[in-house]
Structure 1
Amino acid sequence: MEPAATIRDQLANYLSKREMSINQFAIRSGINSGTLSRIINGHQPIAMSHLELITQGMGVSEDYFYSLYVEECVYHSAPTWRRLRPFIVRCAELGRTDCIERLVHNLLDNLTYVPMLFEVAEGLFEQGHWPAAALLYENVSASEKYQYSERLALCQYRLFRIALGEDQSTNLRAATLFESYIPRLDEADQLDGLKELMVVYYSLHQWHKVDELAQELLRLATIQYEYLSYTKREHMNRKKSVYPVYYYILYAHLMRSSACVEWEDYDSALTLIKSYTDGSWVREVDGEAQQILAQFKEWGKANTYLYRLLAGQQEVIPEYVEYISTRSSEIFMAVYKIIQSANRYHWKVDQVLNRFSRYVSYRTDLKGLGTHNQQVIADQYARFLFELASYYLHNKRGGGIGLILLSLELSARINSESTAMKCVDLFEQYRHEASGQEQEEYKLLIRKVMDSNEKKDHYAVSFV
Structure 2
Amino acid sequence: MKEFDFDEITDVDSIVGMLKMAFSLEEWEQMIQIADQLHTQAHRVYEQQQLERTKGGQPRTLHMKRPLVYYLGFSQLTKGIAFQKQGKYESSRECVEKYAELGWVDGLNEEGLQEVEDYRTLAKANTYTLDLLQGKEEVLPEYIQFLHEHSAEEVIPGMITILESAIMHNYDINPILKDFAERVGELGGFYREPQNLNYYVEFLYQLSIYRFKEGKSGLAIDAVLRAMEYAHSLKDDTSFKKCVVLFESHRSLAVKHQKKRYKSIQNSILGREKDPAKNAIFDDSLIRIV
Distance in 1 between residues matched to 2:201 and 2:130, nearest whole Å: 21
Counterpart of 2:95, as a letter, is: L
In structure 2, what residue type is equivalent to 1:270?
R
Q: Distance in 2 between matches of 1:182 and 1:426?
A: 39
Contact 2:49 2:60 (C-alpha < 8 Å) held by counterparts:
no
2:162 is aligned with 1:343: no
| Selected match of 1:352 from 176, 195, 198 | 176
Alignment of 1:11-410 (within 5 A): 176=2, 183=8, 190-232=11-53, 235=58, 238-328=61-151, 329-361=153-185, 365=189, 367=190, 374-375=194-195, 377-397=196-216, 398-410=218-230
* Contact 2:50/2:59 (8 A) holds in 1: no
Deviation at 1:202, TM superposition (A): 0.9
Deviation at 1:236, TM superposition (A): 6.4
How big is the shift at 1:303? Answer: 0.7
Q: Aligned to 1:235, what secondary structure does the other structure show?
A: coil
Q: Which runs of 5+ in 1 are unaligned?
A: 1-171, 452-464
Aligned partner of residue 322 in structure 1, secondary structure = helix
- State the distance in 2 between where 1:360 and 1:400 align: 17
Q: Call closer, same or farther: CA 1:434–1:368 in 2, change over 3 Å.
A: closer
Task: State the 1:229 CA deviation.
Answer: 1.8
* Residue 109 (structure 1) aligns with: none
Question: How far apart, CA to CA, are the structure 1 residues paired with 2:179 and 2:115?
Answer: 31
Q: Tell me the amino acid that sits aligned with residue 381 of structure 1.
A: Y
Letter in 2 for 1:297: R
Question: Which has the larger displacement, 381-390 or 279-288?
Answer: 279-288
Cα deviation, residue 348, structure 1? 0.9
Structure 2 CA distance for aligned equivalents of residues 426 and 385 of structure 1: 12
Deviation of residue 359 (structure 1)?
4.6
The alignment partner of 1:241 has SS state of: coil
- Give the Cα separation in 1 of the matches to 2:149 and 2:238: 33
Instruction: Rate the CA distance shift 1:362–1:336 in 2: closer, same or farther, 3 A.
Output: farther
TM-score by length of 2: 0.80
Report how far residue 223 of structure 1 moved: 1.0
User: Residue 461 of structure 1 corresponds to which residue in structure 2?
Assistant: none
Relative distance call for 1:271 and 1:217 in structure 2 (3 A) is same
Cα gap change, 1:350/1:192 in structure 2, threshold over 3 Å: closer, same or farther?
A: same
For 1:347, give the aligned amino acid.
Y
Give the conservation status (yes or no) of the 8 Å contact 1:228–1:234: no
Q: Distance in 1 between matches of 2:115 and 2:199?
A: 25
One-letter amino acid matched to 2:150: R
**CA-CA distance at 1:438 after TM superposition:** 1.6
Distance 1:267 1:450 in 2: 44
1:91-126 CA-to-partner distances (Å, cap 9, x unmatched) read: xxxxxxxxxxxxxxxxxxxxxxxxxxxxxxxxxxxx
Q: 1:432 Cα deviation (Å)?
A: 4.1
Q: Which runs of 5+ in 2 are unaligned?
A: 272-290
CA contact (8 A) 2:49 2:59 kept: no
**What secondary structure sits across from 2:149 in the alignment?**
coil
Counterpart CA distance in 2 for 1:403 and 1:201 is 26
More RCO (CA 8 Å, sep 6+): 2
1:405/1:362 CA distance change after superposition, 3 Å: farther
CA–CA distance in 2 between the matches of 1:280 and 1:412? 42
Q: Secondary structure at the match of 2:64?
A: coil
Pair 321,241 (structure 1): closer, same or farther in 2 beyond 3 Å: same
The one-character-per-residue Cα deviations of 1:310-330 (angstroms, maximum 9, x if unpaired) are: 122222211111111111321
Give, in whole Å, the separation in 2 of the partners of 1:234 and 1:292: 25
1:5 equivalent in structure 2: none
Q: Is the contact between residue 214 and residue 256 of structure 1 (CA under 8 Å) also seen in structure 2?
A: yes
The aligned amino acid for 1:323 is: F
Residue 280 of structure 1: how far off its partner (Å): 4.7
| 1:439–1:306 Cα change, 3 Å | same
Give secondary structure in 2 for the equivalent of 1:356. Answer: helix
How far the C-alpha of 1:297 sits from its partner, in A, is 1.1
Secondary structure of the 1:342 match is helix
- Give the deviation of 1:258 after TM superposition: 0.9
Distance 1:211 1:449, change over 3 A: farther
TM score, norm. by length of structure 1: 0.52
Pairwise CA distance, 1:195: 1.1
How far apart, in 2, do the equivalents of 1:216 and 1:426 lie? 35
- Aligned pair 1:434/2:251, yes or no? no
2:163 maps to amino acid? I
Bigger Rg over Cα: 1
Q: For 1:202 and 1:195, locate their aligned partners in 2 and report how far apart those are by CA, in whole Å.
A: 11
Q: Secondary structure at the match of 1:217?
A: helix
User: Would the alpha carbon gap of residues 361 and 435 (structure 1) be closer, same or farther in structure 2, given more than 3 Å must change?
Assistant: farther
Q: Distance in 1 between matches of 2:78 and 2:248?
A: 35
C-alpha distance after superposition, 1:291-336 (max 9, x if no partner)? 2222111111111001111122222211111111111321111011
Distance in 1 (CA, whole Å) between partners of 2:42 and 2:111 is 18
- Paired with 1:279 and 1:330, the residues of 2 have a C-alpha distance of 21
